Structure 1
Amino acid sequence: MKAVTIRTFGGPEGLAVIDVPVPAPAAGQVLIRNEAIGVGGVDAVIRRGTLAMYGFEEGHIPGSEVAGTVTAVGDGVDASWVGRRVWAFTGVGGGYVEHAIAAVEEVFPLPADLSAVDAVTLGSSGMVAHFGLAHAHFAPGESVLVRGAGGSLGIMTVQLAAHGGAGAVAVTTSSAERGDRLRKLGATHVLDRSGQGGGADAPAGYDVIIDIIAGADMPSFFAKLNPNGRMVAVGAVGGRPPADFGMAMMAAFQKSMSFATFSAATVSEPDRRAVRTAQFDAASRGELRTVVHELLPLEQAALAHRKMDAGEVFGRIVLTP
């Protein structure tokens, strides 16, 4: 089968299409014939070699979420999974393939009217957005700023904050056109990437900031937190923040601000399952909107990464085997 691997860390040109055997599911696993593969920001971070200290090596197959049909199961797995349409989390890699392996506890049946493409656009992003807001102790009536709202995670965070009764939902994004699209998804104020703008009625500060970017400019956003405000970093597509980023919080000690990171790895399997099932159902009813930037063949994974690196993507690129 075809697979995409990170031949060399660095730019998208380091991705290569190779032939590998179709794997056999081990005990507790299923084999899925992929119909759609989500391309996420973390895939690009791994590809650049930024996370090499965590054990990622050249030769790694990126991709963490897929959707398709179960074709085989390993020992201990109910045979009734075979033939079912599912979404699956493949772990920290292994998704950019024609046939993927996933642990059965990370496999979710799809509603009949939810496409595989919509499933990989929502699957991880919606769940991280939900628990990221919960980690920030977001409450109805509070103001929320989503930093880096143009990707699928930002888009889901905007929708969930708006549906959750936020008093205001501000976003940072790169263009007026993207801002208009985010307004249609629930944003009330549009700021530039530095956090400026938003109009005369934009909040002076925010109760919650959900940060998908991190990077060198992250400390400047502490100044946008209200007293007792909370910033939660749910991603780092812009790279690591400065080593001394906490000094910006110390300088505003009397505001009692909080900073936290959030990883879905800390959420229990039953909680992930409950939220993801509810979100798939909501999407199938049209209550959550997925935004697909483009469908590309699996063999064009490098092109997908070039588009992400260039900041061209609004929503999610989906690969199709």
Structure 2
Amino acid sequence: MKAVAIQAFGDPEGLAVIDLPAPAPAGGQVLITTEAIGVGGVDTVIRSGALAAYGFREGHIPGGEVAGIVTAVGDGVDASWIGRRVWAFTGTGGGYVEQAIAPVEEILPLPADLSPVDAVTLGSSGVVAHFGLSHAHFSPGESVLVRGGAGSIGIMTVQLAARGGAGAVAVTTSSAERGERLRGLGATHVLDRSGEGGEDAPGGYDVIIDVVAGADMPSFFTRLNPNGRMVAVGAVGGQPPADFGAKLMADFQKSLSFATFSAATVAEADRRAVRTAQFADASHGELRTVVHELLPLEQAVTAHRKMDAGEVFGRIVLTP
């Protein structure tokens, strides 16, 4: 089968199409013939080499979520899965392939009206958005800022905050055109990447959901209201400065909170329940998925170039 691997850390050109033997599922696993592969921000961070200290090596196959048809099952897996359309979480990699392996507990059947492309656009990002807001103890009526609103996680956070009764939903993004698209998804205020905006923008925020992190992250602490909470759900902009906590201490009397959030800390049953509900909502048009572009698997380099350049609104999906 064809796969895309990281031959050399760094630029997108380090990705290469390779041929691999078709895999066979082990006990507790399924084999999926992929129809759609999500391209996530974490894929580009891994490809850059920034996470090499965490065990990622050259030769790694990126991709954490796929959708397609189960074609084989391993020992201990119900054979009735064969032939079913599913979404699957493949972990920290292994998704940029024509045939993917996933643990049976990490697959979910697709509603009849939900396409594989929509499934990988929503599957991981919707869960991160849901539990990220929960981790921030978001309540109806509170003001929310989504830092990095144009990516798939940001887009889902905007929708869920608006549906959850936020008093205001502000976004940072790179252009007025993107801002208008985000308004159509539930944003009430559009700010530039520095967090500046129009005169009607809220003076402060009860909750900030940060997909970006990076060098500018500490400057957003000052935008929190007293008892405000910031939750970092991603780091597509890189790591924050080592002394970023100094900004929190400088506003000690505001009782601010900062936390990180990874969906890996959520029980599998809870993730499954939320994802099932979101898939149903999307199939009924109550949640909107935003697909930036469909590209063949062989054009993964192009997909990563677009991600690195900040051109993507929503999610790029690869198709074998």
| 1:216 to partner: Cα distance | 0.2
Partner letter of residue 68 of structure 2? Answer: G
Structure 1 Cα separation of the partners of residues 24 and 299 of structure 2: 26
Structure 2 Cα separation of the partners of residues 91 and 220 of structure 1: 32
Other-structure match for 2:283: 284
Partner letter of residue 184 of structure 1? Answer: G
The 3-state SS of whatever aligns with 1:300 is: helix
The 3-state SS of whatever aligns with 1:162 is: helix
Structure 2 Cα separation of the partners of residues 100 and 317 of structure 1: 18
Runs of 4+ in 1 over 3 A off after TM superposition: none
Partner letter of residue 207 of structure 1? Answer: D
Q: Deviations over 1:89-114 (max 9, x none)?
A: 00000000000000000000000010
Partner letter of residue 243 of structure 2? Answer: D
Question: What TM-score, normalized to structure 1?
Answer: 0.99
Other-structure match for 2:128: 128
Q: Deviations over 1:158-212 (max 9, x none)?
A: 0000000000000000000000000000000000000001x22211000000000
The 3-state SS of whatever aligns with 1:127 is: helix
Taking the TM superposition and a 5 Å limit, the aligned residue runs for 1:90-169 are 90-169=90-169
The 3-state SS of whatever aligns with 1:293 is: strand
| 1:84 to partner: Cα distance | 0.2
Structure 2 Cα separation of the partners of residues 94 and 273 of structure 1: 20
Taking the TM superposition and a 5 Å limit, the aligned residue runs for 1:1-321 are 1-197=1-197, 199-321=198-320
| 1:60 to partner: Cα distance | 0.1
Structure 2 Cα separation of the partners of residues 149 and 8 of structure 1: 30
Structure 2 Cα separation of the partners of residues 26 and 131 of structure 1: 31
Structure 2 Cα separation of the partners of residues 153 and 82 of structure 1: 31
Runs of at least 5 residues in structure 2 that lack an aligned partner in the other structure: none
Over the aligned positions, Cα root-mean-square deviation in angstroms equals 0.3
Structure 1 Cα separation of the partners of residues 52 and 309 of structure 2: 23
Question: What TM-score, normalized to structure 2?
Answer: 1.00
Q: Deviations over 1:47-90 (max 9, x none)?
A: 00111111000000000000000000000000000000000000
| Number of equivalences | 320
Q: Deviations over 1:278-301 (max 9, x none)?
A: 000000000000000000000000
Structure 2 Cα separation of the partners of residues 50 and 104 of structure 1: 30
Structure 2 Cα separation of the partners of residues 10 and 250 of structure 1: 36
Structure 1 Cα separation of the partners of residues 136 and 312 of structure 2: 27
Structure 1 Cα separation of the partners of residues 304 and 266 of structure 2: 28
Partner letter of residue 214 of structure 1? Answer: A
Structure 1 Cα separation of the partners of residues 108 and 283 of structure 2: 14
Runs of at least 5 residues in structure 1 that lack an aligned partner in the other structure: none
The 3-state SS of whatever aligns with 2:149 is: coil
Structure 1 Cα separation of the partners of residues 151 and 22 of structure 2: 32
